[in-house]
């Protein structure tokens, strides 16, 4: 069960990264801010991979077709999810946008069952159901704090769908790479995925929006902070996925919601209504059930 505190730590780093990325939206746009997550996180992830290799001399990764298919589709899906999340936060508010993205929880559990045959206990499914109900309240546009809540809700749900797929794809890639050394496999997958994502986004922005690349370069100090937080967040998520199905990992990751609510209130002066707070409590209970189930 050591993957539970790892997931909590990953969620905290993810909120910090999202907050830093959001402030870059004005100049870099959603795609430029998404590039920050991967490009500036890549050096830190590579350093973690080197450390993991030193600590795991017996690792023998298998870079076969199964790994590349899962890692490639997961990387592309995560890029789309990250960009959609940034747009959702801008249109529906930071805390609500983060909550909308959590629709990846039920989607991860269902896809894990159907595609990868991951089995969850009754308590875990009950936890998933409770957190999903909480998400239904949190995604209701009327309670959003941003200027465009309806479109923000749509982008949040798209983000959740893509994140749900990427979580399962990355878990499959890790198990295909080296199932006997899962920590090494997790960090290796993080680094490889970020390298591919950085190359794709850099090429895309050089073609479509060179100004966004210039904005990313100009804000390199703040981008390094987002990259560092992103690297630790990704390392935590990938490590947890190596030891647990995607559904329970995302359920425990729901602790991101109260952290985001506090951040949204203190940093961006946002407010949540009573229904959203009640949904947060319900989601917290669901998190406990999913983790213990």
Whether residue 177 contacts residue 118, with contact meaning beta carbons closer than 8 Å, is answered with: no
pLDDT of residue 139: 54
Residue 293 CA to residue 274 CA, distance in Å, equals: 29
Residues of the chain short of pLDDT 70, as ranges, are 21-27, 94-96, 98-102, 135-150, 257-277, 280, 283-284, 287, 290-293
Residue 170 CA to residue 174 CA, distance in Å, equals: 6
Residue 95 CA to residue 138 CA, distance in Å, equals: 9
| Tokens read off for 148 | 């465009």
Whether residue 233 contacts residue 14, with contact meaning beta carbons closer than 8 Å, is answered with: yes
What does the domain layout of the chain look like in residue ranges?
Answer: 3-292
Apex 128 CA angle, 277 and 191, nearest 5: 95
Q: Where do the H-state alpha helices sit in the chain?
A: 3-22, 25-39, 42-55, 65-92, 94-101, 104-116, 122-138, 149-177, 182-208, 210-218, 220-243, 246-252, 256-268, 274-292
pLDDT of residue 111: 72
For the entire predicted model, the pTM comes to: 0.81
Rounded to the nearest 10 degrees, how much is the dihedral formed by the CA atoms of 186, 188, 191, 193? -70
pLDDT of residue 46: 96
pLDDT of residue 185: 96
């Amino acid at each position: 069960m050591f993957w539970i505190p790892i997931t909590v730590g990953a969620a905290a780093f993810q909120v910090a990264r999202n907050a830093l990325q959001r402030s870059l939206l004005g100049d870099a746009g959603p795609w430029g801010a998404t590039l920050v997550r991967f490009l500036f996180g890549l050096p830190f992830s590579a350093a973690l991979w080197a450390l993991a290799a030193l600590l795991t001399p017996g690792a023998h990764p298998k870079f076969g077709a199964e790994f590349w298919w899962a890692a490639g589709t997961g990387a592309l899906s995560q890029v789309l999810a990250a960009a959609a999340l940034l747009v959702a936060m801008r249109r529906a508010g930071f805390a609500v946008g983060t909550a909308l993205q959590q629709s990846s929880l039920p989607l991860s559990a269902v896809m894990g069952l159907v595609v990868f045959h991951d089995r969850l206990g009754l308590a875990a499914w009950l936890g998933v159901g409770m957190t999903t109900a909480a998400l239904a309240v949190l995604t209701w546009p009327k309670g959003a704090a941003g200027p465009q809540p309806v479109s923000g809700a749509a982008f949040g749900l798209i983000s959740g769908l893509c994140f749900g797929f990427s979580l399962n794809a990355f878990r499959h890639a890790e198990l295909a790479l080296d199932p006997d050394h899962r920590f090494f496999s997790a960090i290796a997958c993080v680094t490889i995925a970020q390298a591919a994502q950085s190359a794709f986004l850099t090429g895309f922005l050089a073609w479509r929006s060179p100004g966004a690349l210039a904005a990313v370069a100009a804000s390199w100090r703040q981008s390094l902070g987002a990259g560092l937080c992103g690297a630790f967040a990704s390392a935590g998520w990938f490590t947890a996925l190596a030891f647990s199905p995607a559904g329970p990992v995302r359920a425990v990751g729901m602790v991101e919601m109260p952290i985001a609510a506090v951040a949204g209130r203190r940093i961006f002066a946002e407010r949540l209504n009573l229904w959203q707070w009640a949904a947060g409590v319900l989601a917290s209970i669901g998190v406990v059930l999913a983790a213990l189930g």
